[in-house]
């Protein structure tokens, strides 16, 4: 399994994520060190809070370049909730704030036909052949979402005022719009599969 590091963005409530990783048999620790983010055997990029504040925290800690490099290389990384949106070019939540740009597209706000934020359980439907993702129900807490599947990624979709990307995987990178650490058995099993992968080799951008 190797060492599991969790990026301390300063805006995420990470206690539940640390607890979930420990239940899966790892001994995670927090980091904001660029070299550790670059070299970690496995890295978790959590996200709860505002897009602008989260990206500014990553920039202050000089984590943009090491995150982009490891994601482009497909190195073992789990991005959660806002963490998935950080992988995009940006978000409607923070006009003019540049994301990591690993996937094309912008996180868009749910329309006025539904309650925002989406709070609760929703059904994931993975594409055929998914290695890590499975059919099941997960817990979401989000106001923004990625609507279009990025090229080269396997995805699972959910529906809330139309289909959106609930999770996506490529190589050993797994990004979840939902919270696996709050998703009961379904989430525990997903975290365990990610930790136990072996590496399949990630495609570069």
Residues recognised as catalytic: 81, 179, 181
The 3-state secondary structure of the chain, one letter per residue: CCCEEEECCCCCCCHHHHHHHHHCCCCCEEECCHHHHHHCCEEEECCCCCHHHHHHHHHHCCCHHHHHHHHHCCCCEEEECHHHHHCCCEECCCCCCCCCCCCCCEEEECCCCCCCCEEEEEEEEECCCCCCCCCEEEEEEECEECCCCCCCCEEEEEECCCEEEEEEEECCEEEECCCHHHCHHHHHHHHHHHHHCCCCCCCCC
Q: How many residues does the chain have?
A: 205
Planar angle of CA 190, 191, 194, nearest 5 degrees: 90
Dist. CA 22–CA 67, nearest whole Å: 23
Half-sphere exposure of 164 (CA within 13 A, CB side): 26
156 bridge partner residues: 126, 167
């Amino acid at each position: 399994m190797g060492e599991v590091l969790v990026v301390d963005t300063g805006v995420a409530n990470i206690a539940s994520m640390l607890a979930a990783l420990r239940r899966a048999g790892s001994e995670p620790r927090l980091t904001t060190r660029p070299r550790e983010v670059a070299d970690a055997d496995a890295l978790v990029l959590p996200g709860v809070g505002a897009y602008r504040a989260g990206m500014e925290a990553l920039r202050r800690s000089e984590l943009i370049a090491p995150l982009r490099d490891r994601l482009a290389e497909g190195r073992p990384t789990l991005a959660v909730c806002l963490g998935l949106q950080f992988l995009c070019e940006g978000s409607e939540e923070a006009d003019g704030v540049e994301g990591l740009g690993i996937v094309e597209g912008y996180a868009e706000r749910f329309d006025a036909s539904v309650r925002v934020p989406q709070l609760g359980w929703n059904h994931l439907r993975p594409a055929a052949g998914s290695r890590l993702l499975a059919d099941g129900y997960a817990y979401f807490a989000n106001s923004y979402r990625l609507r279009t599947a990025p090229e080269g990624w396997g995805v699972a979709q959910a529906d809330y005022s139309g289909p959106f990307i609930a999770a996506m995987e490529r190589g050993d990178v797994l990004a979840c719009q939902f919270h696996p650490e709050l998703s009961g058995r379904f989430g525990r099993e997903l975290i365990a599969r990610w930790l136990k992968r072996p590496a399949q080799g990630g495609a570069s951008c």
